[in-house]
Every structure is written in structure tokens, then in C-alpha cells.
Amino acid sequence: MRVPAFARSRRFVAAAALALLGTLVLVASFQKQGSPAESPVAEPPNAEVAPVLTGGQSTSSTPAGPPWRYGRADARFTVVEYADLECPFCRAYFAVLKRWIDAHPEANWQWHHLPLSMHEPAATAQARVVECVGQTGGSSAFWQAVEWVYTNTRGEGRGLPEGLRYPGLTAEAQHCLDGDRPDAMIRAQAEEAAQQRIAVTPTLKLQDNQSGKTLLLHGPVEGDALLSAIDLLAAGGTDAPTPKEMPADAVGMPR
């Protein structure tokens, strides 16, 4: 079954399907050799992160988290992003994926923490901040905090500039930071990723909320690749969930 908003020509869909089948062999070879800690896509020079909640699609219809979601709560598809707040590839991809979600209301975006060991302790420290801001301020506050971190962090585990703290941190958020609640949640998400053998950031898991099928994509994903993945899941009907994998294209969204 095809989703009308993502419908394209038979020639395009056929070509996309052949491309996906061909790349599965590359994934198997890649996994045998071992996955890198981050996507090998080069970060665009002087990458900037656009404001998260200015214009575009509102998160008001999305229930509070965690897990935190951006976009329509009733979207058929969910893009689960496994991300590290110190990962430069995640930083460059953040605004790109946000714009794509704004342009495709059939999909929403779910955040999943995956701090990489090479970026510790800064990666977990940043994750704790955004979680506590979200838990005390709601979904919009969470996404704003993620944007602020990506805008200000030096990345690659170097963390925020010395003395810089999240602006307007409330007493309630500080109380959250003083406790261990965010650590338990971040650890649980990281362990869940490990159980699925996800060790690359960013990694996307596209989920069809109607059929329950999922498709795993490694690295920043181009707009057409996401659309092809959605076509693939939608064509699968409502059979039992069948996890599949495909590698990702370089950042070139939205399309």
C-alpha cells in the first residue's frame, strides 16, 4: 500500500527498490568489518544549526517524553534518531532532519540518546542537561536545549566552553541535574541501542506505526533515501515486523 503524500513514479520506485536491494550486500560486508564509532560522512564546513522551533511544524501535538518526539503525534511513520550531543555529524544533520520532518507531516522524529565512549564525559553531561530541561519544561524546551547544545558545544568530546551554562536553567531543572534520574534514562537508552547492535551516530530507525515494521539506516540520510525507505515499509502491508537494514547517503536533504 502506498502513502499518497510520498507517492512517486513507478520508474523512480523501481529504481529505488533495486538500489536498496543492491546495498544490502554492502551492509553485510560493512558489519563484518566492524562499524566505526561515527558516520564517515564529512561534516560540512562551518555547519550551522537553525533554530528548532522557529516556524515550520509545531511540537504542540506531540506528547511529552521521554522519549521525546517532534512532529505530529498521529504520524504514520516515526524516524527514531540515535544521536550523541558531541557528535559533529549529528550536529550537522540536526537542522537538516528537522526541516525534512517539517515538510513531511506523515513522519515524526523521536530522539534516542547514544553517548559514544570516545566523547565522554561531555556527551553524557550534555544529555543530562537536555533531559532535565525537557523533564521540567516540556517537549519544546527539550528540543530548544538540544539545539542550544549543538550550537555551543565544541564537539568531539570537548564539551561546552569553560564557564558556559545553559541559560535560564530553573531551580527545578537544577534539582533534576543534582539527582540520578537522567542518568538512569540515558543509560537505559544506550543499553537498548547496544542490544540492537547500534554503535554509530547518527543512526536512524524508520518505523511504520501502522504495520510495526522497521528499517535501520546508518549515518545521515538523504531525503530521497528516506522517501524510498518509507515506500518500502508501506509496500510491506501489515505483516509481522521484519527488521531490515540499508546504508545511508550523505546529507543532502530536504527533497
Angle between helices 122-137 and 181-195 (to 10 degrees): 120
The grid coordinates of residue 36 equal: 566505526
pLDDT averaged over consecutive 10-residue blocks of the chain (255 residues)?
44 43 36 41 38 43 75 96 97 96 96 96 97 94 97 96 92 94 93 94 95 90 90 69 45 40
The grid coordinates of residue 60 equal: 504542540
The CA-atom distances, in angstroms, between 33 and each of 189, 197, 216, 250 are 25, 14, 18, 21
The CA-atom distances, in angstroms, between 135 and each of 6, 51, 53, 127, 189 are 34, 20, 18, 12, 16
The CA-atom distances, in angstroms, between 242 and each of 132, 208, 211, 216 are 35, 11, 10, 11
Sign of the dihedral through C-alpha 140, 143, 149, 151: negative
Give pLDDT, residue 62.
52
Which of the four CATH numbers 3.40.50.12280, 3.40.190.90, 3.40.30.10, 3.50.50.60 does domain 4-247 have? 3.40.30.10
Give pLDDT, residue 222.
87
Give pLDDT, residue 3.
44
Give pLDDT, residue 54.
42
- Which candidate, 11, 95, 88, 24, places its Cα nearest to that of 246? 24
For residue 64, give the DSSP letter.
P
Give pLDDT, residue 219.
84
